[in-house]
């Protein structure tokens, strides 16, 4: 379950077979060709200011999407997840109809 469609798409791409991009970022699932590129990419994550803080445990994130995923995975029970899924589906339908 992903709060943001872009998170889901990026995660799905991480499963695609791409022999040239075999190193995957554990934070955002970006794929790189070399371990060195991945290490540099991860350093970029770590150097960004962490402006989004979890109200439950205090862990901080550089992107709101990462905070949202953290809360969903670590601080949300199954009943709340089901409610969130419904909200995401309804929101997606509303956004889709706006584009018609």
* pLDDT, tens digit, 9 for 90 and up, residues 44-73: 887 888 899 999 999 998 888 788 888 887
Say which CATH topology domain 5-98 has.
Double Stranded RNA Binding Domain (3.30.160)
For residues 65 and 7, is the Cβ–Cβ distance under 8 A? yes
pLDDT band at 99 (very low <50, low <70, confident <90, very high): very low
Is the pLDDT score of 32 beyond 60? yes
Rounded Cα–Cα distance for residues 63 and 52 (Å)? 7
> From start to end of 17-73, where are the E strands?
23-24, 31-32, 52-53, 60-61
pLDDT at position 73? 79
- Predicted TM-score (pTM) of the model is 0.48
- Residue 23, beta-bridge partner list: 32
């Amino acid at each position: 379950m992903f709060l943001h469609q872009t998170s889901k798409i990026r995660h799905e791409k991480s499963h695609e077979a791409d022999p040239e991009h075999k190193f995957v970022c554990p934070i955002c699932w970006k794929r790189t060709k070399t371990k060195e590129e991945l290490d540099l990419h991860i350093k970029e994550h770590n150097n960004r200011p962490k402006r989004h803080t979890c109200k439950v445990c205090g862990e901080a994130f550089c992107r709101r999407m990462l905070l949202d995923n953290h809360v969903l995975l670590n601080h949300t029970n199954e009943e709340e997840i089901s409610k969130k899924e419904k909200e995401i589906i309804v929101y997606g339908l509303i956004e889709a109809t706006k584009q018609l």
